[in-house]
Amino acid sequence: MAYYKVPENLAGKTLDDLMKQYGGTTSVYGQFTGLPTNAPLTAGQTFQLQDVPGTSFTGSTEGQNIARLFQPGTSPEEQKAATFQEEERGRLGEFTGRLQKVPEELEAVRQAMGIPEAFQTFGAAGTAARGISGTIRDLPQAVQQALSGQGVTAGQLAGRTAAEIKGLQPAIESATRGLEASGAGLQNLLSEFGSRTQAAFTGLGLEAQMLGQNIGQEFDLFKQQISSDLDRELANLSRQTTLDVAQLNRATQLAQLEQTASNIDFVDLGDRIGIFDFAGNLLRTEKKGKLGTLGDDGW
């Protein structure tokens, strides 16, 4: 049977009042509604329509008045389901609100852990490493240009270059240590931040699954996005550290080659240049015009 509920305008009235105002029989009103005829009605009060033997609801004055004056209602089961859905919507709204604050909260954690400052330190170390690497890479040509026109031999040129690079060796070592230390420190901070992020997501993930499949899937995507951003950050950090250290290693190797070059001498043999060690042993000869700067093989 259908359910009806009392509208606001009928609150405080009784079924006796309705009979007096709109006609009909009080007892029939009571039989149709199952409510006491002399008790004040309350807004939202719900009742289930009852059969009255020998009386048609749609054909009777009482039935027509009930259908006209009262509003369609819901069963207790439907009311319970509606209340539950409303509560679920409330919980979902509260969860969604908290979820929207997660990026801001994670950023606060990053700040508290000093991750932005660690990035600045790492960036400065990388700049220093690239600077000293570039200086050493360009040094042979710079020395050659500085001594151009002064009548120096190739051996003297190599010796001067080696001396310049030797003076930079402490800077190379310092840049290497600074880069590796700052990179490792930042790596540790990001790893710890990742652990804190996953811990924060654990409770939220359980709650998301309890709120239903859809919100659970949305939360998984949200979590995956933040985790992917962190993984990408770690990968970029590792790649940049590797690149900068590789540059420093190449600079160190160049310095070693230049040191070796400073222990040889060059003698004009006419159409060729002879390369001798300081013991007077001929190491090899090269055509004139090929020497002047160090090539890829260190000579």
Residues in the chain, how many? 299
CA distance 187 to 194: 10
Of residues 296 and 207, more confidence is placed in: 207
Highest mean pLDDT among 11-20, 125-134, 144-153, 173-182: 11-20
Task: Please check whether residue 168 is in contact with residue 132, taking contact to mean a CB–CB distance below 8 angstroms.
Answer: yes
* Dihedral sign from CA coordinates of 58, 64, 66, 71: positive
Grouping H, G, I as helix, E, B as strand and the rest as coil, residue 202 is: helix
Please tell me the pTM assigned to this model: 0.51
CA dist list (Å): 222 to 71, 201, 216, 217, 292:
44, 10, 10, 9, 60
CA distance 131 to 66: 90
Token representation of residue 155: 């051996």
- Per-residue confidence at 229, pLDDT binned at 50, 70, 90? confident
Task: Please check whether residue 273 is in contact with residue 155, taking contact to mean a CB–CB distance below 8 angstroms.
Answer: no
Does residue 66 surpass a pLDDT of 90?
Answer: yes
Token representation of residue 120: 């600045």
Residue 277 pairs in a beta bridge with 264
- Per-residue confidence at 281, pLDDT binned at 50, 70, 90? low
Share of the chain above pLDDT 70, in %: 84
Element housing 4 (H / E): strand 3-5
CA distance 218 to 214: 6
- Per-residue confidence at 135, pLDDT binned at 50, 70, 90? confident
pLDDT at 289: 56
What does DSSP say about strands 264-268 and 272-277: parallel, antiparallel, or unpaired?
Answer: antiparallel
Residue type, 265: D
- Per-residue confidence at 155, pLDDT binned at 50, 70, 90? low
CA distance 172 to 276: 30
Domains of the chain by residue range: 3-73, 96-262
pLDDT digits 0-9 by tens, 161-171: 777 877 877 88
pLDDT digits 0-9 by tens, 34-55: 999 999 999 999 999 999 998 9
Q: What is the mean pLDDT of the chain?
A: 79
Euclidean distance between the first and the last CA atom of the chain, given in angstroms as a whole number: 103
Rounded to 10 degrees, what is the CA torsion of 197, 203, 208, 211?
A: -160
